[in-house]
Structure 1
Amino acid sequence: MSARIVVLPGDGIGPEVINSALDVLNVVADDLEFEKHLVGGASMRAFGRSLTDEAFAACSESDAILFGSVGDPSFPLDGADKPEEGLRRLRFELDLYANLRPVKPRLSLADASPFRWEHLDGTDMLIVRELTGGLYFGGKHESSEHRAIDESVYTTAQVDRVARVAFRVARRKVTSVDKANILETGRLWRTGVTKVGEDFPDVELVHMLVDNAAMQLIANPRSFDVLLTENLFGDILSDEASMLTGSLGMLPSASLGDPGVPGLFEPSHGSAPDIAGRGVANPMAAILTAAMMLRMGLNRPDEAEAIESAVDKALTSGTRTRDLGGIAGTQEMTQAVLAAL
């Protein structure tokens, strides 16, 4: 069955890596229909807005959204609209409350990680990050040039629904991260997750303070199965966890809402404006994001497996981009994956 995918390449290296993902998708699933729209700084230059109503409507009516990256340093961080607002609007108005980031180091990249393989071997975790609450979506107040306030707000309903996602995908254990010894939202988070855990007696629940979680990700990454966290902590910990795989350029992600709502699939790296247009960006996170979209968004596990297997073969062949210690450019890396399909 054909599917309609809205493609939002975005800023920086976004268009480059998304083109690689589309090249791969066209080989394994030639019945997909792609519709491109602008987002972020690219949209602000063309239309004066980070996301037009037309683009948002197309996304809301699609089967899935394939996203590149947003972020353009030529726009001020304190503007009424800025490139990142387009992505924020999609997450909030589509209510994409659960962000899933798999972290599984590959033997083929053992030499690219700062850690010894024997320390990483067996690591296979999924970070489940709440995506529409907390500091990023709370009230923001600047009372003077010397004082500013950001409010972190969570409700029991927000905690409940993302916790259920985590417990449903867990194989053996959910490690819930909070700061319950200091923050009121942390105490509400811990209470809510504990209550949800009672409905999943076969899944072990461990509560962990965020500072300890940051240490354990490095000291004992194999101990994690599903890492459940609120918005800000998840943003930070998932970037830390990327170093287990060798590079942030290897991490895909999915942002999901309730059934019937199109998921948004994006590589975890940013727009990397310093290397944009040079043809050196690592396309692997975008290619693996395409596989994640096929599996989680379109229920096509066979095509997803074909892409993931091709990525492993390409890396095993020795083709590497610069962030992985190699010399290959974006196109050369993409061609290695295509050749392995």
Structure 2
Amino acid sequence: MILNIAVIKGDGVGPEMMESALEILKSVCRQFEHQLNLYPVMASGEAIDAVGNPMPEESLKICMEASAVLLGNTGLSKYRNSPQEKRPEFALMRLRKEMETTTNIRPVCIYPVLSELSPLKERIVQQGVDFVFVRDIAGGVFCSDKVKSEGEFGKEAYEYEYYNEKIITDTAAIAFELAGRRKNKVTNLDKSNVLGSSKLWRTTVQEVGKHYPEIELTHCYIDTAAMKIIESPKEFDVIVTSNLFGDIIADEGTQITGTPYLYASAEVAKNGKGIYTPNQLHHPDETMIGQQIVNPIGMIAAAAMMLRHSFGLEKEAAAIENAIRKAIEQGYRTKDIAKEGEQWLSTKQMGEKITGLLAY
């Protein structure tokens, strides 16, 4: 198969993570005899510094012609006070719009050998933590017009929590399809006891569920789920929810592992194209830049997700994921997941260890 992939190395520690991910991607494509075409893209901070635009038209054209986009870390403090359209994050926002991505997929699990890093009690962790967040990214307040005005009590600002059946159906269908490849269980999160948008969300998810009779569908209010995911994470497998709720609870779900830099994120469109990033897309510690100490596993896992979701290459994706698992089980660590006094590897060294563990 021919794989045409646009590569945005990103800001800060992004290039370091991306280097390891690309080396593993090249290796797996050699093993499975795929033609890998990588197209470097100038975007985010690099493009702002060069041409004053985080997503120049030529860069956008390369991304649109590719089958998928790999994107490293985005955002730096020096751009924090810039207008939105002049910040690195705007590149991702532009890509989402132009590629018509509808759904964010974020898998999270706790590796048993790293369970002590979780803030959860051991008895809870031992029950198992392994779920996937499926979040809409096409509707809700994040995608709304931003309204500002002067009112009776001074300045006002608000957005619209807008949804329609198509937006909800697109994301719900992805959730049910994923569940069919896992444990045949979907949990829908909403606030339908209060919000009209959530009532529409729940009824539409129920309608989609009728097309998947083998999948068990349950519902949970978002505030209840925020508690349950801590006290009994084993109850969840595929979790589907709206944009705002998903943005918050997916971060909670990641943080309860204690290892947030091990996971990936996919933003997919109905045509199969997607944007693939580390779960922690905006790495907060800028002192790590250029030090080769950032954990590359989230970016490597993103490459695996890309092979699965945009190219349908399940064996190849599994080969990378199995190599990650073996590296962790064999005791290889980067600084963020190493115990005090434990030897740890550089970004590049961890990538090399995982590459060496690739197998058919």
Q: CA deviation at 1:166?
A: 1.0
Q: What are the Cα deviations for residues 79-98 of structure 1, in whole angstroms up to 9, with x where unaligned? A: 05122111011112211101
Report the equivalent of 1:14: 14
Q: What are the Cα deviations for residues 204-254 of structure 1, in whole angstroms up to 9, with x where unaligned? A: 221111111111111111111210011111111111111343322011111
What are the within-5 Å matches in structure 2 for residues 1-341 of structure 1? 1-30=1-30, 31-77=35-81, 79-81=83-85, 82-120=87-125, 121-143=127-149, 146-170=155-179, 171-259=183-271, 261-272=272-283, 273-274=285-286, 275-326=288-339, 327-341=344-358
Pair 77,188 (structure 1): closer, same or farther in 2 beyond 3 Å? farther
Are the aligned partners of 2:44 and 2:75 in contact in 1 as well (CA < 8 Å)? yes
Alpha-carbon distance between aligned partners in 2 of 1:135 and 1:125, rounded to the nearest angstrom: 25
Q: What are the Cα deviations for residues 227-285 of structure 1, in whole angstroms up to 9, with x where unaligned? A: 001111111111111134332201111111113x4211111113325222222111111
Q: Secondary structure at the match of 1:277?
A: coil
Q: What are the Cα deviations for residues 172-225 of structure 1, in whole angstroms up to 9, with x where unaligned? A: 221111112222211221121122222222222211111111111111111112
Q: Secondary structure at the match of 1:245?
A: coil
Q: What are the Cα deviations for residues 63-93 of structure 1, in whole angstroms up to 9, with x where unaligned? A: 2111112112211456051221110111122
Amino acid of the structure 1 residue aligned with 2:184: R
| Residue ranges of structure 2 left out of the alignment (5+ in a row) | none
Paired residues in the alignment total 340
Alpha-carbon distance between aligned partners in 2 of 1:199 and 1:301, rounded to the nearest angstrom: 24
Alpha-carbon distance between aligned partners in 2 of 1:241 and 1:92, rounded to the nearest angstrom: 26
Alpha-carbon distance between aligned partners in 1 of 2:24 and 2:334, rounded to the nearest angstrom: 17
Pair 228,336 (structure 1): closer, same or farther in 2 beyond 3 Å? same
Are the aligned partners of 1:242 and 1:250 in contact in 2 as well (CA < 8 Å)? no
Amino acid of the structure 2 residue aligned with 1:311: I
Q: CA deviation at 1:35?
A: 0.6
Alpha-carbon distance between aligned partners in 2 of 1:14 and 1:192, rounded to the nearest angstrom: 38
Alpha-carbon distance between aligned partners in 2 of 1:253 and 1:76, rounded to the nearest angstrom: 23
Pair 325,115 (structure 1): closer, same or farther in 2 beyond 3 Å? farther
Amino acid of the structure 1 residue aligned with 2:136: E
Q: Secondary structure at the match of 2:345?
A: coil
Amino acid of the structure 2 residue aligned with 1:281: V
Q: Secondary structure at the match of 2:189?
A: strand
Amino acid of the structure 1 residue aligned with 2:356: A
Alpha-carbon distance between aligned partners in 2 of 1:320 and 1:116, rounded to the nearest angstrom: 23
Percent identity reads 35
Alpha-carbon distance between aligned partners in 2 of 1:143 and 1:323, rounded to the nearest angstrom: 45
Q: CA deviation at 1:117?
A: 4.8
Alpha-carbon distance between aligned partners in 1 of 2:177 and 2:330, rounded to the nearest angstrom: 36
Alpha-carbon distance between aligned partners in 1 of 2:155 and 2:41, rounded to the nearest angstrom: 39
Q: Secondary structure at the match of 1:208?
A: strand
Alpha-carbon distance between aligned partners in 2 of 1:271 and 1:169, rounded to the nearest angstrom: 26
Amino acid of the structure 2 residue aligned with 1:138: S
For structure 1, which segment, 193-202 or 91-100, has the greater mean C-alpha deviation from structure 2 after superposition? 193-202
TM-score, normalising length: structure 1: 0.94
Alpha-carbon distance between aligned partners in 1 of 2:177 and 2:323, rounded to the nearest angstrom: 28
Amino acid of the structure 1 residue aligned with 2:50: A
Are the aligned partners of 2:119 and 2:257 in contact in 1 as well (CA < 8 Å)? no
Q: What are the Cα deviations for residues 86-122 of structure 1, in whole angstroms up to 9, with x where unaligned? A: 1011112211101111112212322222234542343
Are the aligned partners of 1:11 and 1:271 in contact in 2 as well (CA < 8 Å)? no
Alpha-carbon distance between aligned partners in 1 of 2:65 and 2:275, rounded to the nearest angstrom: 12
For structure 1, which segment, 22-31 or 110-119, has the greater mean C-alpha deviation from structure 2 after superposition? 110-119
Q: Secondary structure at the match of 1:126?
A: strand
Amino acid of the structure 2 residue aligned with 1:319: Y
Q: CA deviation at 1:300?
A: 1.9
Alpha-carbon distance between aligned partners in 1 of 2:337 and 2:225, rounded to the nearest angstrom: 26
